[in-house]
Amino acid sequence: MTADVMPPEDASRHTLRAAVLGAGSWGTTFAAVMADAGCTVTVWGRDEKTCRQITEDHRNEGYLPGVELPAGVTATTDVRAALAGADIVAVAVPSQVARRTLEPLRDAIGPSTVAVSLMKGVELSTDRRMSEVVAEALAIPQDRVAVVSGPNLAREIARRQPTATVIASTSDATAQLVARACASSYFRPYTNRDVVGVELCGAVKNVIALAVGISQGRGLGYNTMATVITRGLVEITRLGLALGADADTFPGLAGMGDLMATCASPDSRNHTLGGHIGRGMSLDEAIAATGGTAEGVKSCRSVLELATSLGVEMPITHAVVRVLHEGLPVDQLAPLLLARPHKAEGA
């Protein structure tokens, strides 16, 4: 199949209304996905010019250059107007600002509105997963919250390149509603009840992608990359199981699938930022050079805190924290990992 050629869906199959909070690359892309699946979608963004461009020109050049958005997507800077009458509200702001973005909006959410976290991070001050933050901030029960996570690089999906995703919720009805709102000829959702596992995979793969980027920035090759990805999946699994996740999630789309996409793609901000660090930039320089939200930079610390509180060993995550935040010289990352005491592979 040729890329970039999947046609949009027949937009008349249902009449769901959706709001998306965040007019960045994933918020805008997921809005387009839902519009192609038949929803009427309003995006909330902070920037007037971006919102006008989305509504009037069907473009968001700042985040998705060259992409034409479906006419069913409009945008506004008035968050309450965006939320009015929404069956679904999807949240795509940086994880660390989710709570403060959502708390003032409690009274603007309808009594049966479903909230969807599109975010892949762990809150720094509380070590909470994003579905927990969303439920707490909006004061809604967990069964009205779903998480979308998988190999979902926004720039590819915005060009309607085919992919699959995972919709996780403790409620089957909630997961199915969200799946209906986003399923199209190029976007295939699978539902899953393992919210903990799906969310952890999404957050920690960003940290592993930083490590892969760093090693590639140092000029290391595919053996190193494969080692970091594979052992990365081991430490994601270890943390997830300690938190009660389902073992089947880790080799699936939200686990191995997203890890592969993020660690391989030059579009990944985490991977790209790691590369800049590996080539010798400071963290501030790397953040500026990358642009957009590289969640692993902050979440590596909350993930490590969570792991430490549970007695779970996460050597790659720990090494990333040391390089990014504790001044470990980048050329000491590999020796640090390789000099660890011998252990059996399955241990």
Distance between CA atoms of residues 17 and 34, nearest Å: 9
Contact between residue 58 and residue 66 where contact means Cβ atoms under 8 Å apart: no
25 is a site residue for ligand NAI (CB under 6 A):
yes
- Using the minimum distance from each CB to ligand NAI, give the nearer residue, 212 or 334: 212
Among 19, 20, 22, 60, binds ligand NAI (CB under 6 A): 22
Partner in contact with 92, chosen from ligand 13P, ligand NAI, none, beta carbon below 5 to 8 Å by kind? ligand NAI
- Using the minimum distance from each CB to ligand 13P, give the nearer residue, 127 or 156: 156
**Burial code of 215-224, b = ≥16 C-beta within 10 A, e = fewer?**
bbbbebeeeb
Partner in contact with 87, chosen from ligand NAI, ligand 13P, none, beta carbon below 5 to 8 Å by kind? none
Distance between CA atoms of residues 7 and 252, nearest Å: 27
269 is a site residue for ligand 13P (CB under 6 A):
yes
- Using the minimum distance from each CB to ligand 13P, give the nearer residue, 40 or 262: 262
- Non-local (6+) Cβ contacts of 44 within 8 A are 19, 20, 21, 22, 23, 75, 76, 77, 78, 79, 82, 83
Q: Is 343 a catalytic residue?
A: no
Task: Report in angstroms how near the CB of residue 262 gets to ligand 13P at its nearest.
Answer: 5
Contact between residue 105 and residue 138 where contact means Cβ atoms under 8 Å apart: yes
The DSSP element (H or E) to which 40 belongs, if any, is strand 40-44
Among 270, 299, 302, 317, binds ligand 13P (CB under 6 A): 270
Contact between residue 178 and residue 157 where contact means Cβ atoms under 8 Å apart: no
197 is a site residue for ligand NAI (CB under 6 A):
no
Q: Quick one: CA dihedral 334, 327, 230, 206, positive or negative?
A: negative
Q: Which residues make up the interface to ligand NAI (CB under 6 A)?
A: 22-27, 45-46, 63, 92-95, 97, 101, 118-121, 152-154, 292-293, 295
Q: Which residues make up the interface to ligand 13P (CB under 6 A)?
A: 120, 151-153, 206, 209, 258, 261-262, 268-271
Catalytic residue numbers read 205
